[in-house]
Amino acid sequence: MDNSTEIIIRFQGPFTLLKGNDLPCILESPLKKGIYFWAVPVEDKDLIYYVGITTRAFSKRMIEHLKGYLSGEYGIYEPVELQKGKRLPLPLGDIEDFIKRHNELYPKLLDSLKLFRVYIAPVSCEKRLLERIESAIAGYLKGHGGLAAGFQNEHVNYRVRRKDENPVVVKLECSSKRIDLPPILEV
């Protein structure tokens, strides 16, 4: 780690995806470009559910995610189980089934979306470094054991550091004590 660069990343949050909660809504954030994660309240912690990056405004990226959920493109999980740190997928079928079952699925989808807490870290760096940081955080969560390991989406393909890339030391800070992140990662 001697010749590596070092950066500090400060996560802010939590924010909500939908207006009308006690927390600020991420859709009103003017901040652009960086790393974010979604978390779900589980007991006295916010358990990280998904790690992502954006090269656009955070609000625009979150709207894209919302469209994915509302269209049936994204999977929907049983909200009661999410609060226990478990992903229990609801069978959605194809788009025709999703539309036919809208009245049944929508309340559960809305409950899930209300659960999600969004944390953001504005970072000004090249996209490739954002990908490496995203990958390192997700890798830490998967390899750390406990609820966080089983809560990660196994279908997301993160882009790890290649052998020809110099390591970067990333110090992670979060404004919330409800989040468990390592203080330092090498990406």
Sequence-separated (6 or more) residues with CB below 8 Å from residue 37? 11, 48, 49, 50, 51, 52, 118, 119, 137
CA distance 119 to 37: 5
Sheet containing strand 184-186, edge to edge, reads 45-57, 32-42, 117-122, 5-16, 168-174, 184-186
> Is residue 84 very low, low, confident or very high in pLDDT (cuts 50, 70, 90)?
very high
Q: What pLDDT is attached to residue 177?
A: 87
pLDDT band at 156 (very low <50, low <70, confident <90, very high): confident
Identity of residue 151? F
The tally of CA atoms less than 13 A away on the side-chain side of residue 97 is 6
- For residues 162 and 59, the model is more confident at 59
| Per-residue pLDDT, 105 | 95
pLDDT band at 4 (very low <50, low <70, confident <90, very high): low
Phi-psi region of 34 (alpha: psi -120 to 50; beta: other; left: phi over 0): left
**pLDDT exceeds cutoff 70 at 116:** yes
Q: Return the higher-pLDDT residue of 46 and 151.
A: 46
